[in-house]
Amino acid sequence: AQKVTQAQTEISVVEKEDVTLDCVYETRDTTYYLFWYKQPPSGELVFLIRRNSFDEQNEISGRYSWNFQKSTSSFNFTITASQVVDSAVYFCALRRSGSARQLTFGSGTQLTVLP
């Protein structure tokens, strides 16, 4: 069975602080895909990044960076110099094997960035 754990239910930071959102996953697949989504107050989920299990390079996109470590089954997300607009619920997800490509989501982390 596959599982995604986001142990941090809520995080609150002050603007311009760096913040890391943790994601730990479990899977028996040798090839798998991990994702991060952002859900702002409007509700729509916004895709942020996909990571393949065979590519362990960390990725940076502006103020966002992702640290993928197979040894610890973790795929953590860091926001540098956080801004109020970063306030949202962030979900980590794992794609199941099979052609239907369902995603297993973590329970999400509510990030609040205070001005």
Partner 1 sequence: SQTIHQWPATLVQPVGSPLSLECTVEGTSNPNLYWYRQAAGRGLQLLFYSVGIGQISSEVPQNLSASRPQDRQFILSSKKLLLSDSGFYLCAWNTGTGLYEQYFGPGTRLTVT
Binding site for partner 1 (CB under 8 A): 33, 35, 37, 42-47, 50, 89, 91, 95, 99-103, 105, 107-108, 110
Q: Which is nearer to partner 1, 3 or 16 (CB)?
A: 3
**Number of residues that make up the chain:** 115
CB 104 within 8 A of CB 97: no
Q: In whole angstroms, how close is the CB of 81 to partner 1 at the nearest point?
A: 26
DSSP state of 96: P
Q: In whole angstroms, how close is the CB of 82 to partner 1 at the nearest point?
A: 21
CB 37 within 8 A of CB 108: no
Q: Which is nearer to partner 1, 13 or 103 (CB)?
A: 103
Q: In whole angstroms, how close is the CB of 43 to partner 1 at the nearest point?
A: 5
Q: Which is nearer to partner 1, 5 or 80 (CB)?
A: 5
- Which residues in the chain belong to E strands, given as ranges? 3-5, 10-14, 19-21, 24-26, 33-39, 46-52, 59-61, 64-69, 74-79, 88-95, 103-105, 109-114
Q: Which is nearer to partner 1, 64 or 105 (CB)?
A: 105
